[in-house]
Amino acid sequence: MTQDERYMREALKQARKAYALGEVPIGCVIVYQDKIIGRGYNRRNTDKNTLAHAEITAINRASKKMGDWRLEECTLYVTLEPCQMCAGAIVQARITEVVMGSMNPKAGCGGSILNILEMPEFNHQVQVKRGVLAEECTQMLTIFFKELRVRNKLEKEATKERAFSEQIPEKKKEESVEMKGKMEYNKT
Amino acid sequence: MTQDERYMREALKQARKAYALGEVPIGCVIVYQDKIIGRGYNRRNTDKNTLAHAEITAINRASKKMGDWRLEECTLYVTLEPCQMCAGAIVQARITEVVMGSMNPKAGCGGSILNILEMPEFNHQVQVKRGVLAEECTQMLTIFFKELRVRNKLEKEATKERAFSEQIPEKKKEESVEMKGKMEYNKT
């Protein structure tokens, strides 16, 4: 296992914490001189805060640890290509290198929609590696969204049923229960 | 005074707090239903944290106040065009409108280097107004950078003098003091 893979596994550990909370599973670690100085995972819905992305949390912790807003000579590992906010924070913090797992073709700003990390117009450019443990990172997201779709479908059905049963007046409900009993009886 | 100018003045009040700390004077307020729900000013050097930009602080406070990561129907007022991180955070928080004072042609991402706020590729686009109280916003920045240049120049000179005096051996220093005394004496 390469060093990049080793740290991406640590980022995946963080992503699993997000998954356990029912959040989109994204995890991140920041490494300085072969030590992790910041960890983070997505908690946007749990914390009800846009800033609770994995990378922002990790940058916040790393800055506190380093006592500096500059995170020079640091490498950030993240399981999914960063969004526009996180890619921007990475450049602002002057992080030297970013290693990412999955790409995010619909919203990513580390090469998909934009490449904020390597723009020559800014005063800092980040070195970028893509596709480290991409399969594992993608798989975790795929499973999450598949389960989410099932959950959403079940919730929708439950809401529909609730709305339907609330519409039926009490008398009708009793009749309907009777009817259902009869139907069930007929089935046996 | 228009409503936009009124709130931009509130953002300028925040910027003055940054100025008082010797930070680049940038201030921000977020308004919801004609009430300020988040304030922020630049504290990057003071807090030693990249996330201590005016807009990020204001978004953090507004999210806590609203109990939601979505800041829909909110207007963000900021004295300087946002950077890539802050413009990204504004889109991520789904803020409806951004009103800015000065533009930042070298680094701004609200129309200068990039226009992250209005990109059709993202799932949210922000309405943008530029140039509200631009003169006052720019003036505050101009004064700050002018003073900073003077301060830096004085510090550089002081450092040079210190280094020079440390290089002179003790004996030479005594001679130099004597010599200086003589010269001063000659002047009178």
**Cα gap B6→B84, rounded to integer Å:** 26
Point out the least confidently predicted range of A173-182, B58-67, B120-129, B148-157: A173-182
pLDDT digits (tens, 9 = 90+) for B77-129: 999 999 999 999 999 999 999 999 999 999 999 999 999 999 999 999 999 99
Q: What is the pTM (predicted TM-score) of this model?
A: 0.86
Q: For residue B152, how far is the Cα from the chain centroid?
A: 17
Angstroms from B157 CA to nearest CA on chain A: 26
Q: How many CB atoms lie within 10 A of CB A18?
A: 25
Q: Which of B49, B54, B23 is nearest to B39 (CA)?
A: B54
Which pLDDT belongs to residue B45?
97
Residues of chain B with Cβ-Cβ distance to A122 below 8 Å are 84, 107, 113
Q: What is the ipTM of this complex?
A: 0.85
Residues with Cβ within 8 Å of residue A34, at least 6 apart in sequence: A3
**Structure tokens, A178:** 């009777």
Q: For residues A96 and A60, is the Cβ–Cβ distance under 8 A?
A: no
Give the closest of A48, A60, A84 to B68, CB-based.
A48
Please give the Cα distance from B181 to A112 (Å, whole number).
Answer: 70
* Residue-wise pLDDT tens digits, A71-118: 999 999 999 999 999 999 999 999 999 999 999 999 999 999 999 999
Q: Are A88 and B91 in contact (CB < 8 Å)?
A: no
Is A181's pLDDT higher than 70? Answer: no
pLDDT in tens, B42-64: 999 999 999 999 999 999 999 99
